[in-house]
Structure 1
Amino acid sequence: MDLLETIKKRIEEKIENASVQILDPRNDGCHLEAIVVAEAFEGLTLVERHQMVMDAVKDLFSSQLHALSIKTKTPDQI
């Protein structure tokens, strides 16, 4: 499984019913972007939402992941 798929799977496992898209805008495999839409974000601050996403992938930063831009929304925000 490649890094993008690993990140997607981990976020989906951590955040119930999340719609997750992982992009590699620089095409370098190191600077990635996560777009996550989930009802679980309802009522949470932006920091709390980002913490939920980071909790799913934080261990990857020590070995494979260099940078992850995170965009979070609830279904009502899209």
Structure 2
Amino acid sequence: MLRSRTVTATVTAVVTAATATAARRGCAMAEGPVARAIRAKLQAALEPTHLQVVNESHRHAGPAGAESHFAVVVVSERFGGLPLLQRHRLVHAALRAELAGPLHALAIVARTPQQWLDDPAVPPRPACLGGSQREHRGA
């Protein structure tokens, strides 16, 4: 029970920090239909103890309100004993329809609850250099 409380407290702190960061950056926290589908499918398939779904489409070329680029942080007991590639395959399997349709890019952090307790930090995502931005850097 103590471990469960620790996980809950850690998750609450991380979500609160993420919400505050998004507010400072002027990002909307509302989820569109693709984000909601991603969240629901990952919840059903992996029963995570922690799940973050972040729409990063605003960092890429495309129309306002697009839902094509996402990052997910999934913490699940289902990942226990699995190598990183197998964890990613489980996430991809859950999101097969989205990956075949509107979802263009997906960054995945897949950890067990113990790994999340040991290190809840999520690596920063690099800036997008695709599409028209590539032309501006002289590539």
| TM bracket (short chain) | 0.7 to 0.9
TM normalised by structure 1 equals 0.88
Instruction: Structure 2 unaligned segments of length 5 or more: list them.
Output: 1-31, 59-65, 117-139
Asked whether 1:12 is paired with 2:36, we answer no
- Give the gaps of 5 or more residues in structure 1: none
Count of residues in correspondence between the two structures? 77
Q: Select the structure that is richer in strand.
A: 1
> Runs in 1 of length 4+ with deviation above 3 angstroms?
none
Query: Cα 1:66–1:72, aligned 2, differ >3 Å: closer, same or farther?
Result: same
Give the letter for the 1:25 counterpart.
E
Whole-Å separation in 2 of the counterparts to 1:77 and 1:33: 18
What do the CA deviations read for 1:45-76 (whole angstroms, capped 9, x no partner)? 00010011100001212221111111101111
Q: d(CA) in 2 for partners of 1:8 and 1:37?
A: 13
Aligned match of 2:103? 65
When Rg is computed on C-alpha atoms for both structures, the one with the higher figure is 2
Give me the identity figure in percent.
30
Aligned to 1:23: 54
RMSD: 1.4
Asked if structure 1 preserves the Cα contact closer than 8 Å seen for 2:67 and 2:102, the reply is: no
Residue 46 (structure 1) aligns with: 84
Compute the TM-score of the two structures, normalised by the length of structure 2: 0.52
Q: CA deviation at 1:26?
A: 4.0
Write the distance in 2 (CA, Å) between the matches of 1:58 and 1:25: 19
- Letter matched to residue 43 of structure 2: E
